[in-house]
Amino acid sequence: MAFLQRFLADLFVNLTPGRGISIVIDVALTSLLFYAVLRLISNTRALQLAQGLVIYYLLVFGVEWLSLKAGLLALNSVFSWLRSFSTSFLPLLLVMVFQPELRRMLGRLGSSKLVSSDTHTQFTDVHDWEESVDEIVKSVKYLSMNRIGALICLQRQTGLEDYVETGVRLDALVRAETLSTLFYPNSALHDGGVIIASNRVVAARCLFPLTASADLERGLGTRHRAAIGITEETDSIVVVVSEQTGVISLAVRGKLTRYLSPLELRGMLLVMTKPIASEHRFNMTGVFRRRKSNGQQGGGDGQA
């Protein structure tokens, strides 16, 4: 309390027009930071854990201050030690509590335009990709009409090799008949999800992480939770077909859009997965590749 009083006194004593502008900018940036953190952990279990941490520290500081004012020295010493002990382990505790959110944030930074990897899964021919989208929509329409559950993950910038390794590699062309057969009940590969990258069915029967969000409709099962979970971890797009109702859904960045028609699904896929020309894009991997390539060419010239 005394610290806050001294801070306010120094603030108003040294307040000048220039100082006032800097204070406004400082408060605005701090508010944006808190807003970004709250948005990152909103609708997740981490928000409840953060609220628990805040309540815990308020109780510890409150009891410590009240016990000091009341002259309860033993109680004050106990809570003073508890505050010091908790504060020393606070960074480790924050990493443990917010580990999923930190991993998601770092993954999004890694998939940004500046450091994206120059792989063939990112940049494809527009005509070929439109044909692949049509095949996906055709398969989804058939699966929906026959109420066959499906989970189709479309890779964008973030690589999905970790999830490919959990399934069975295929490397097949994207065809409606192939996708429909993979999800047919009692087939060897019908469980799990299918991963599509660069107009190829890369793998089937893949395992995706389940979302921990509590803000979901009742009745959504493991398939929908897996679709939301992998889009929270990566920038991929996931098409879901409900086995019970045949409803078509699309998961993007942890958000699920339901009750889509095949035509709506096609339009959304074409917009969200439109290929990009790789030669107009800067990325760190491309720089290292060019340097390595130039070095090899230079060595070859020297040997010649």
Render pLDDT for 62-116 as a digit per residue (tens, 0 to 9): 888 888 888 888 888 888 888 888 888 778 877 776 776 666 666 656 655 444 4
Same domain for 202 and 259, yes or no, is yes
Range of the domain at 33: 1-108
Report the pLDDT value the prediction gives residue 179, as an integer from 0 to 100: 95
241 in a structural domain: yes
Same domain, yes or no: 50 and 94: yes
Q: 238-266 b/e with 16+ CB inside 10 Å = b? A: bbbbbbeeeebbbbbebebeeebebeebb
% of the chain surpassing 70 pLDDT: 70
What's residue 170's pLDDT? 93
Q: Is residue 222 part of a domain?
A: yes
Domain containing residue 182: CATH number:
3.40.1700.10
pLDDT of residue 27: 82
Paired tokens of 130: 């439109």
Q: What is the pLDDT of residue 211?
A: 87
Backbone angles phi, psi at 156, to 5 degrees: -115, -110
**Rounded distance between C-alpha atoms, residue 38 and residue 57, angstroms:** 18
Does the global pTM surpass 0.85?
Answer: no
| 299 domain residue, yes or no | no
Residues 6+ apart with CB under 8 A from 130: 270
Q: What value does the mean pLDDT of the chain take? A: 78
* Sheet of strand 237-241, all strands in order from the earlier edge strand to the far edge: 168-173, 200-206, 193-197, 150-154, 237-241, 248-252, 255-257
State the pLDDT at residue 174. 94
Residues 84 and 132 in one domain: no
pLDDT, tens digit, for every residue of 124-142? 567 788 899 999 999 999 9
pLDDT above 60: residue 247: yes
In a shared domain, residues 9 and 95:
yes
296 sits in which H/E element:
helix 284-303
Of the listed ranges 3-7, 83-87, 255-259, the one predicted with least confidence: 3-7
Largest CA distance in the chain: 89
102 & 136 share domain: no
71 falls within a domain? yes
Q: What are phi and psi of 89, to 5 degrees?
A: -100, 10
Task: Give yes or no: residues 194 and 69 share one domain.
Answer: no
Domain count, the chain: 2
The model's confidence at residue 287, banded by pLDDT at 50, 70 and 90, is very low
Q: Residue 98: CB partners within 8 Å, gap ≥ 6?
A: 41, 46, 49, 50
Choosing from 77, 108, 139, the residue where a domain stops is 108
Instruction: With respect to residue 26, please indicate whether it lies within any of the assigned structural domains.
Output: yes
Strand blocks (E) in the chain: 150-154, 168-173, 193-197, 200-206, 237-241, 248-252, 255-257
